Amino acid sequence: MPAKRQPRHEARQARTDVYRQHIFTAAERVFADCGFDAAKVQDIAKLARLSMGTIYAIFPSKSDLFRAVLEARGRELLELARRVAAAGHAPRQALRALGEAYIGFFVAHPDFLRMHLRDGTSWVLGPAAATQGRVQLWRDVHAVQTAVFRRGIADGVFIDEEPGFLAKLYSALDQVLLADWVADGMRAEGAELVARLDAIVDRVFCAPPPSHPRRPAR
């Protein structure tokens, strides 16, 4: 016999989901502007136009809220990377598509980017002193990039280097590019950032075309 639907429970869950999104948006802004230590839940509540009680009913502490934002956005980014990698592109095109997806994500969520950069997490080494969930998200994103580089090395498209190292180097370039964008007031358009990253990728990762011996003059 199918379980009875509980309209009140479903309505309550839908309301909580809406509140959660409002809280996330406000928290990203406050954490980005102030940093974790100086951020106040009172300011987040004011920006989200919700009571302190509503926020604490969903997130028991500021630390819980901070971790929830990082993990939720991290899952979104991982799913985005996986969809791009599963599209069946050749390695160079796959790396181009990954760069476009990453930059598009952070341009669409600039407060999360600023919050993430303030946190000081290295995209190369992974999150230090973080929850196992955040560490696993970093490993999973890194694995997606590593697989792309491994295919490209096998095809002779990328330089012959350990693919995991190239994936970390790629993450470093992406982080520096976006950090520089933030420092410059986020003035450049996303397409400009994508083109800049793509040009750097060509210079750093792509193997030079094979040289052909000159034919003797007749």
Q: Where are the domains of the chain?
A: 1-60, 68-205
Confidence category of residue 218, pLDDT binned at 50, 70, 90 = very low
- Mean pLDDT check: name the lowest of 12-26, 64-78, 101-115, 185-199: 12-26
Report residue 130 as tokens. 């973080």
- Asked if pLDDT for residue 174 goes beyond 90, the answer is yes
CA distance 148 to 91: 6
Residue type, position 165, single letter: F
pLDDT tens-digit series, residues 24-50: 999 999 999 999 999 999 999 999 999
- Give φ, ψ of 206 to 5 degrees: -80, 135
**CA distances in angstroms from 31 to 24, 91, 106, listed in the order given:** 10, 37, 16
- Mean pLDDT check: name the lowest of 77-86, 113-122, 160-169: 113-122
CA distance 217 to 203: 33
- Give bridge partners of residue 158 from the DSSP assignment: 206
Biggest CA pair distance of the chain: 89
Asked if CATH classification 3.30.465.10 holds for the domain at 68-205, the reply, yes or no, is: no
Local structure of 79: helix, strand or coil: helix
Local structure of 174: helix, strand or coil: helix
Local structure of 47: helix, strand or coil: helix
pLDDT at 13: 63
128-161 in b/e form (b: 16+ CB < 10 A) is eebeeebeebbebbbebbbebbbbbbeeebbeee
Residue 151 makes CB contacts below 8 A (sequence gap 6+) with: 91, 94
Confidence category of residue 9, pLDDT binned at 50, 70, 90 = low
Report residue 176 as tokens. 């520096």
Report residue 131 as tokens. 């929850």
CA distance 30 to 111: 9
pLDDT tens-digit series, residues 101-127: 999 999 999 999 999 899 888 888 877
CA distance 55 to 147: 40
Report residue 12 as tokens. 């309550």
- Which of 53, 75, 67 lies closest to 24 in space, CA to CA? 67
- Asked if pLDDT for residue 51 goes beyond 90, the answer is yes
1-60 and 68-205 share one fold: no
pTM of this structure: 0.85
- % of the chain beyond a pLDDT of 70: 88
pLDDT at 5: 55
- Asked if pLDDT for residue 15 goes beyond 80, the answer is no
Helix (H) / strand (E) element for 20: namely helix 7-38
Tell the CATH topology of 1-60. Answer: Arc Repressor Mutant, subunit A (1.10.10)
